[in-house]
Amino acid sequence: MSKTVHVESPSQFSQILSSSRVVVTDYWCGPCKTIAPFYEQLSSQLSRPNQITFTKVNVDQQSQIAQTYGITAMPTFMIFKNGKESKRVRGANPKELDAAVKSLAAEASAAGEGSSSSASGSDTW
């Protein structure tokens, strides 16, 4: 089951950014449905409490958030690390999104283990 958080306000989004090490955000609109199943799959596989959080921001309902982050194309995916933008993927590009998310997930996993030399406990972060 998906663990994606649907953002309902700018204050909720700020709270998520400050409470999770990595936040992956899908800025979407009604017609942006082609990549949604892929995003939900990543969310269900990689979400970890306070480590990696997947969010969805409906730009039609949350235009203030979209404006704050300069969203001009949909869908746009932003990956935040410690509250700061780390990566931006424009358009429905599953390969680029997958690579970006899994790279940061692996980094979060290594940081959660307290060691960058071991990759064996990837589910512990």
Give catalytic residue positions: 29, 32
61 contacts: CB under 8 Å, gap ≥ 6: none
Could you tell me how far CA 118 lies from the centroid of its own chain?
Answer: 24
**Helices 36-46, 94-113: crossing angle, 10 deg rounding:** 10
Where does 1-125 have alpha helices with state H? 10-19, 36-46, 63-68, 94-113
